[in-house]
Amino acid sequence: METLDGWGYITAGFSFLVLGMIVFAHAWYMFIATFTVGVLSSVLALIHDLLLVVILLELFRIIASTRRILTTGAATAYTKDLTQEVFHQYLLDIGVNVLVIVALVFAVYMASKRTAPPLSP
C-alpha cells in the first residue's frame, strides 16, 4: 500500500509538472503571436498565464504539506519515548507546514479574485 501511495504522489506531481509545462509553452506562444497587436495586453496575458503555472506547481506543495502534517502526527502519536524536545520539534514542524499551507491557499485565493484585464484588439 505504501508503494501505491508513493506512486500516486509521483503520478500527481508529474501531472502537475506536465500541465505546468504545457501552459508555460502556450503562454509564450500566445505572447509571441500577439506581441505585435499590443505589447501591454500581451505582457499582461503572459504574466497571468505564468502565475497560473506557479499556482499549478504550488498545488502539489499544498498536498505534500498536508500529507506531512498527517504522517508526522501519526508517527509522533505512536512514539513511546517522546521527550519534551522531540515534542517541541514536532510542534515546530507542524507549525511551519501549516504556515506554508495557509500562505499558499491565500495566494491561490488572491489569484482567483484578480480579474483578467480585457485584451484590446
Per residue in 41-53, is it b (16+ CB within 10 Å) or e — as a string?
bbeebbeebbebb
**Global confidence as pTM:** 0.53
Residue of 4, 24, 10 lying closest to 64 (CA atoms): 10
* pLDDT, tens digit, 9 for 90 and up, residues 32-70: 999 888 888 888 888 888 888 887 777 777 777 777 777
* Per-residue confidence (pLDDT) for residue 1, from 0 to 100: 63
If one compares 18 and 57, the residue with the highest pLDDT of the two is 18
